[in-house]
Amino acid sequence: MAEGIGKALISDIVPAHQRGGAIGLIYTVAGFGQLFGSELAGATWSFTLSGTTLRMPFAIAAALALTAGVLLLFTTGARGLEAMA
């Protein structure tokens, strides 16, 4: 479901003659992100968060998700909070 929405958003934002390149760029970046994420998870799998049984890849993912949530909250400002109500 999100893939179609992403393509529609790109189609609305990017001029018609650049849409193919923009969609290709988005998928290239996403592919490299998945490759990097898989490598990072594999490299840190044997480590645990100190004092717990939580594996390090999950701790890293939680920290990144929390950071993204905070950034989203601050970048949308009151406009984003009003839209959620």
pLDDT value at position 56? 93
* pTM of this prediction exceeds 0.75: no
Strand partners for 55: 48
Alpha carbon distance 68, 53 (integer Å): 24
Instruction: State the pLDDT at residue 9.
Output: 87
Largest Cα–Cα separation, the chain:
55
Q: Which residues contact 82 (CB under 8 A, 6 or more apart)?
A: none
Per-residue pLDDT of the chain (85 residues; tens, 9 = 90+): 578 888 888 889 999 999 999 999 999 999 999 999 999 999 999 998 888 888 999 999 999 999 999 998 888 765 555 555 5
